[in-house]
Structure 1
Amino acid sequence: MVARDDYVGKVVFDMNEVPTRVPPDSPLAPQWYRLEGRRGDTKVRGEVMLAVWMGTQADEAFPEAWHSDAASVHGEGVFSVRSKVYVSPKLWYLRVNVIEAQDVEPHDRSQPPQAFIKAHVGNQILKTKISPTRTPNPMWNEDLIFVAAEPFEEQLVLTVENKVSAAKDEQVGQISLPLTIFERRLDHRPVHSRWFNLEKFGFGALEGDKRHELKFSTRVHLRVCLEGAYHVLDESTLYISDVRPTARQLWKQPIGILEVGILSAQGLLPMKNKDGKATTDAYCVAKYGQKWVRTRTIIESFSPKWNEQYTWEVYDPCTVITLGVFDNCHLGGNQKPISGSGAKNDSRIGKVRIRLSTLEMDRIYTNSYPLLVLQPSGLKKMGELQLAVRFTCLSLANIIYLYGHPLLPKMHYLHPFTVNQLDSLRYQAMNIVAVRLGRAEPPLRKEVVEYMLDVDSHMWSMRRSKANFFRIVSLFSGLISMSRWLGEVRQWKNPITTVLVHFLFFLLICYPELILPTTFLYMFLVGLWNFRFRPRHPPHMDTKLSWAEAVHPDEMDEEFDTFPTSKSQDVVRMRYDRLRSVAGRIQTVVGDIATQGERFQAVLSWRDPRASSLFVFLCLIAAVVLYVTPFKMIALATGIVWLRHPRFRSKLPSVPSNFFRRLPSRADSML
């Protein structure tokens, strides 16, 4: 027997007559409305109390509103179509300074202990080195750094272990400490150290009574604190969105307001098949600072319109806001990704980054940004994202003040972490943020958080290596152009230009006090000239700069390979040989640079006694000549010789160049 809900009545409203409410107006008072029958008659008895109004995104009821285009969503997928605001967990660096231990007693008392300490917080595991003193009272004085998130759910678990052999470690004692007992440090002053007694290995919770019968136990000396003066990095410093320290007491006042209107997307490509039809259910995620926002999901549309606005407080203008567009694959129903992957993950559609320092203050930018995605098959344009962005300045003086101060809190410079520590801590912070946001409702899924935070930015990529190389080449293009121009001046390609350069050179030699003012005046004029050609719009993802247009298919496939690799042995061998050839060229360049530096050192090292004696004698002559000759005359003579006409110049290398190239290096001592 199948039960069915019975029809009671309905209430019909004319949309043109529905009142509009704009906060901060008070909510509309509910009213009683008489129910009508199916045909609009009033034979049905009963009334229903409702409040009906037209609202905006600023309305407190907007996040819980039902959208008419989400009628086809099934089951729990209803919760994942609504817009939400998320806040990243408050992250702390946990510094564990392991000083020493006492009474470390191994199982085999005939052998001196080789003790070390293993510490773990959640999934993070770190070890100290083996104590150099093989005694029952070992010392380490090492720092172990972890990432912890409030509320503190994990404990600090310390284990003293003894290395019996290369493949065997035995536990001596263990202790679990809640993170809430540790001091929160706001500066570089040292915290007080404490002794902690360890539970002897083998005595667990069920043997609590026996634990008190122990005559002594191993104890460990620690200095532990939660670092509040650092900023916990969960994203790369190249496009960081927040630079505030963890402790709220150290925060400065905001210097501006960032307003972002996520308007729409156009020309999106189909991302999955639903009931035999290609479609896309797109939503947008924006991340700036600790605040994440997620727009509602527009169902089955290649040109979704969100028209949602969000604001952030800005504490530093040299930060970046990141926006990503994704396809929602958790709406229920019969869905299958077009890519063919069986995993039910939200697919990437594209990402946009906007650096706030490139925006003019109080100006509204309304632009479309291309959504580009790298896939194993190559670069693909997925559509365009239309945004409205405005950066409002609250204090111009504070912004100018910030430009002269470090980007990160001062503890990053007073007590810096190593590069390896920063990479490891950033990876752990990203994992914690992804796990915590994945527990929200609706969850901000792990693949979304990792894509927004660029979790794989440190992985090897031939394409990215080429792009960085050509960035360096373009960086020195100005110097290369200047050297070419000077070469043309020396070759008298344009006699008028060469004569003018001679005149300017003589003027600066006669009046050397004009050199620095002339240099700064030149840079001032160049800046004014370039002001006419300043960028009118924020930059977007550049395919040429990223070297993504002409990338080889195998290089792209290598970039998307897992770590460790999942490819066949032949493919791995081919890629390894290619990497060896590239590394060989880099090795040659590094060796040449080392050779030139060692030749400079060899001038006075007497490795070549004739060259060193000749150079020392020439230095004595140069000292005497420079002492008795005015500096202006020396500079004038040097400039005239360097700018002399090609008729008076030989095509062979100069004498100083020949002398330098004959100096010995240590390359002949290498195997």
Structure 2
Amino acid sequence: MQRPPQEDFVGGKVTGDMLTSTFDLAEQMLYLYVRVVKVKDLPWKDLDPYVEVRLGNYSGTTRPFVKKMNPDWNRVFAFSMVRIQVSVLELNVKDKDDSVGRVMIDLNEIPKRVPSDSPLAPQWYRLEDGSGSKVKGELMLAVWMGTQADEVFPESRHSDAATVSGAVAFANKFATVYHPPKLWYLRVNVIEAQDLIPGDRSRFPEVYVKAILGNQELISKVSRSKTINPIWNEDLIFVAAEPFEEPLILSVEDRVAPNKDVILGKCLIHLQYIERRLDHRPMNSKWYNLEKPVIVEGEKEEEINFASRIHMSLYLEGGHHVLDEPIDYSSDLRPTARQLQKSSIGIVELGIMNAQGLPPMKTKDRRASTDAYCVAKYGHKWVQTRTIIDSLAPKWSELYTWDVYDPCTVITIGVFDNCHLHGGGQARDSRIGKLRIRLSAFETGRVYSLSYPLLVLQPTGVKKMGEIHLAVRCTFSSLMNMMHLFSQPLLPKMHYIHPLIVEGNWNDKQTKMDKLRRQASQMVSMRLSRAVRPLRKEIVEYMLDAKSDMWSMRKIRANFLRIMDVLGGLIAIKKWFDQICNWKNPITTLVIHVLYLILVLYPRCILPTIFLSLSLIVVWNYRYRPRHPPFMDIRLSCADNAHPDELDEEFDTFPTSRRIDIVRIRYDRLKSIAGSIQNVAGDIANQLERLNSLVSWRDPTATKLFVISCLIAVIVLYFMGFRVATLVTGFYVLRHPWFHHYLPSAPLNFFTRLPTRIDSML
């Protein structure tokens, strides 16, 4: 059962109504749109013209053109009409600080337009001077009233601004949609090499292969065959981003000393020419020629003529999904190859309305301020809202939609403070908060208009950073298709038919997968940071939880409490059963006796009774169902009572940057916790080994007793019958406390005396 929303500071309170009627997710806001196209016939030749658009205290400017008589801007400005109290729109054509001419437009004469209408055609307006007389020059522009549903809304410059020295500056920030690169797994199967020429032919070469792709570097094992024809047959797996920019560089090297390696040959392979595999069919291998190394002696270069080559199988895995975030709250689980992707089953609509109670994040002009914007991520689409300057209660009212391919996915929304509007340089955008919402928690077609708490974990502890108001609607085209997906594997079938990593134990496989996930997240952050409006590295890593696999004492304790919370139901059943066996309530115990007798005499009723009981439990718990989609829970995360030293350890760098005495204390604490985990794992191993020892003859006497007991059980069950034996066993367990013994039973004593392999360990 899901815990109810927390109503105190620690978790915030989820408020709002869930509406079932038709509802516009984003609140309709009125905007004045001004499209400045171009200007012509200016009076002077040597001008650097630009246009200043002013509506009351709000203003925006186009970029100036140097020495150009007829500049073409085609720039759209959007003015929110919420706080506008003037009635005239003013456009000034300027040269540096001098006015060339202006256009004045009465707001009452501006037409209103809905998105379904045709685009408004620009018109030429004659320029006039300050007295209202016409001057030489004309300005082409289009002016209309619209809402945020207008198609030019994402590309327009918005007037959500703050006062700066008594005047309001235009916010040169607008909403942006990003499409991260398509990620592939590149499998490099290094098979063998031929005709290598080592520098020292008097020794057996220790040859390995080094592969480099961008900032990724993998090294194979040293070949066991110490010859000039080494054999590896080893897989090296990379993450590659399409469009492919960096080539794959392979070098065959000889380890001549512990810190000295000699390159025997190199080759360069461009990924766009590599074959792509969509299923588990074997791929053809190919021989690649190795480049000739060059020996430099002073200023003389000598080329060595030889024909070394390497045998490899290279291909891009299209049937796998490249994980760039933890699978537990991934937003996309489709295979990489487009041919294998299925059609969408619905859409999710997200209305980012507003935020309340944001804290001041920085000091600007000797006063605290916050320039907030939102980033939302789902599937193969990231969005960033416009930045609302200097507001602790920003209002975005922006609507975004995504195609949904799997309901068991998570949409992530983060709020950040923009530190680059005023020349922030190397400053990092500050985190205000983040939340994740699982789509399967929504009822189809229903609108959830809720305020979610913004929580952020800092080195000083968890802090509530305000609330964000969202409106979400998830609509599925076919209920049957959605329900059918619950019977399908979570990941593409290639992850099960042909796993990406086969060799090694579970821990090694998990370590390699975590490394690939970190490489994928770094590749996404690098590409998105190179966009026209960069989505910076710290933002992408925070949204993808790139460091979620780092050690955290808080997470260890939280996961233990999660396990105990789940086991709490089983523990409650065990306590209830003990009360029945101890006759705490004789009437209930007698009813259980009768029910047990009926089930033994009519075994066909056992399974129907079990499933009927489960159904009744589920129906009974319906009244305790969660009323709101779950949000970030700091009690569940153990962030409300985390020790300051634990938080300092969690926010420490890797490798550590703390003093040696602090590291020693933390290491001792880690050893104590690891010792407890080690003891639990040892106890589980002991019980399993005791079961195995029954048939493995590690204790001949115990095995003989077990065989004799099995033979006696065969005879007893044959003559007594299964029903009678089960009935006697059940009544013996439910016997009255008068007949109980305080000592453990004989079977339990026999089990605890069985041998384990702990005595053979060092």
Q: TM-score range by the shorter chain?
A: over 0.9
SS of alignment partner, residue 69 of structure 1: coil
Q: Offset at 1:245?
A: 1.3
* Map of 1:513 onto structure 2: 604
Q: Aligned to 2:366, which of 270, 276, 284? A: 276
Unaligned runs of 5+ in 2: 1-94, 502-508
Kindly provide the amino acid, as one letter, of the partner of residue 494 in structure 2.
Answer: M
Distance 1:315 1:668 in 2: 53
Alpha-carbon displacement from aligned partner over 1:254-295 (angstroms, at most 9, x marks no partner): 100111000001000110000110110000000001100000
Alignment partner of 1:499 is 2:582: no
Alpha-carbon displacement from aligned partner over 1:432-457 (angstroms, at most 9, x marks no partner): 11010000011000000000000110
Q: Aligned to 2:434, which of 341, 345, 351? A: 351
SS of alignment partner, residue 199 of structure 1: coil
* Map of 1:424 onto structure 2: 515
* Map of 2:352 onto structure 1: 262
Distance 1:61 1:593 in 2: 63
SS of alignment partner, residue 619 of structure 2: helix
Q: Aligned to 2:245, which of 146, 153, 166? A: 153
* Map of 1:551 onto structure 2: 642
* Map of 1:141 onto structure 2: 233
Q: Offset at 1:4?
A: 4.9
SS of alignment partner, residue 236 of structure 2: strand
Alignment partner of 1:58 is 2:149: yes
What do you get for the CA RMSD once the two structures are aligned?
2.1
Distance 1:412 1:610 in 2: 46
Q: Offset at 1:246?
A: 1.3
Contact 1:80 1:330 in 2 (8 A): no
Distance 1:22 1:191 in 2: 55
Contact 2:358 2:467 in 1 (8 A): yes
Q: Indicate how the Cα distance of structure 1 residues 268 and 97 shifts in structure 2: closer, same or farther if over 3 A, else same.
A: same
How many corresponding residue pairs? 654
Q: Offset at 1:44?
A: 4.6
* Map of 2:462 onto structure 1: 379
Q: Indicate how the Cα distance of structure 1 residues 46 and 179 shifts in structure 2: closer, same or farther if over 3 A, else same.
A: closer
* Map of 2:192 onto structure 1: 100
Alignment partner of 1:583 is 2:674: yes
* Map of 2:340 onto structure 1: 250
Q: Indicate how the Cα distance of structure 1 residues 601 and 6 shifts in structure 2: closer, same or farther if over 3 A, else same.
A: closer
> Which stretch shows the higher mean deviation, 407-416 or 459-468?
407-416
> Which stretch shows the higher mean deviation, 411-420 or 240-249?
411-420
Distance 2:344 2:261 in 1: 52
SS of alignment partner, residue 372 of structure 1: strand
* Map of 1:192 onto structure 2: 284
Alignment partner of 1:643 is 2:734: yes
Q: Indicate how the Cα distance of structure 1 residues 613 and 229 shifts in structure 2: closer, same or farther if over 3 A, else same.
A: closer
* Map of 1:87 onto structure 2: 179
* Map of 2:448 onto structure 1: 365
Alpha-carbon displacement from aligned partner over 1:557-595 (angstroms, at most 9, x marks no partner): 110000111111111111111111111111122222222
Contact 2:210 2:219 in 1 (8 A): yes
Alignment partner of 1:448 is 2:531: no
Q: Offset at 1:11?
A: 2.3
Kindly report which structure 2 residues correspond to 1:460-499, keeping only aligned pairs within 5 A, or say none: 460-499=551-590
SS of alignment partner, residue 758 of structure 2: helix
Alpha-carbon displacement from aligned partner over 1:502-560 (angstroms, at most 9, x marks no partner): 01000101101000011111112222222233222110001111011111111111100
Distance 2:455 2:385 in 1: 20
Q: Offset at 1:69?
A: 2.9
Distance 2:527 2:436 in 1: 24
Choose between structure 1 and 2: higher strand proportion: 2
Kindly report which structure 2 residues correspond to 1:16-27, keeping only aligned pairs within 5 A, or say none: 16-27=108-119
* Map of 2:308 onto structure 1: 218
Q: Offset at 1:47?
A: 4.1
Alignment partner of 1:391 is 2:474: yes
> Which stretch shows the higher mean deviation, 12-21 or 537-546?
12-21
Kindly provide the amino acid, as one letter, of the partner of residue 99 in structure 1.
Answer: I
Distance 2:243 2:163 in 1: 38
Distance 2:195 2:498 in 1: 32
SS of alignment partner, residue 263 of structure 1: strand
Q: Aligned to 2:385, which of 281, 284, 295? A: 295
SS of alignment partner, residue 749 of structure 2: helix
SS of alignment partner, residue 32 of structure 1: strand
Alignment partner of 1:329 is 2:419: yes
Q: Indicate how the Cα distance of structure 1 residues 4 and 474 shifts in structure 2: closer, same or farther if over 3 A, else same.
A: closer
Contact 1:79 1:441 in 2 (8 A): no
Contact 2:126 2:134 in 1 (8 A): no
Q: Aligned to 2:261, which of 148, 158, 169? A: 169
> Which stretch shows the higher mean deviation, 95-104 or 5-14?
5-14
Distance 1:236 1:619 in 2: 48
Kindly provide the amino acid, as one letter, of the partner of residue 398 in structure 1.
Answer: N
Unaligned runs of 5+ in 1: 336-341
Distance 1:245 1:80 in 2: 38
SS of alignment partner, residue 603 of structure 1: helix
Distance 1:316 1:35 in 2: 57
> Which stretch shows the higher mean deviation, 148-157 or 532-541?
532-541
Q: Offset at 1:98?
A: 0.7
Contact 1:269 1:382 in 2 (8 A): yes
Contact 1:33 1:48 in 2 (8 A): yes
* Map of 2:105 onto structure 1: 13
Alignment partner of 1:403 is 2:486: yes
Alpha-carbon displacement from aligned partner over 1:305-333 (angstroms, at most 9, x marks no partner): 00000011111111110000000000116
| TM-score of the two chains, using structure 1 as the length reference | 0.94
Distance 2:124 2:201 in 1: 86
* Map of 1:178 onto structure 2: 270
Distance 1:54 1:660 in 2: 82
* Map of 1:338 onto structure 2: none
Contact 1:10 1:37 in 2 (8 A): yes
Alignment partner of 1:595 is 2:680: no
Q: Offset at 1:72?
A: 6.6
Kindly provide the amino acid, as one letter, of the partner of residue 249 in structure 1.
Answer: Q
Distance 1:48 1:603 in 2: 95
* Map of 2:75 onto structure 1: none
> Which stretch shows the higher mean deviation, 602-611 or 130-139?
602-611
**Percent identical residues:** 61
Q: Offset at 1:71?
A: 7.0
Distance 2:329 2:164 in 1: 36
Q: Offset at 1:664?
A: 2.7
Q: Offset at 1:643?
A: 0.3
Q: Offset at 1:45?
A: 5.4
Choose between structure 1 and 2: higher helix proportion: 1
Kindly provide the amino acid, as one letter, of the partner of residue 366 in structure 1.
Answer: S
Alpha-carbon displacement from aligned partner over 1:105-154 (angstroms, at most 9, x marks no partner): 10001112221111111111111111111111111111111111111110
Q: Indicate how the Cα distance of structure 1 residues 257 and 233 shifts in structure 2: closer, same or farther if over 3 A, else same.
A: same
Contact 2:358 2:465 in 1 (8 A): yes
Alpha-carbon displacement from aligned partner over 1:352-383 (angstroms, at most 9, x marks no partner): 11111111000111001110000000000001
Contact 1:73 1:332 in 2 (8 A): no
Q: Offset at 1:43?
A: 5.5
Contact 2:188 2:237 in 1 (8 A): yes
* Map of 2:207 onto structure 1: 115
Distance 1:608 1:93 in 2: 50
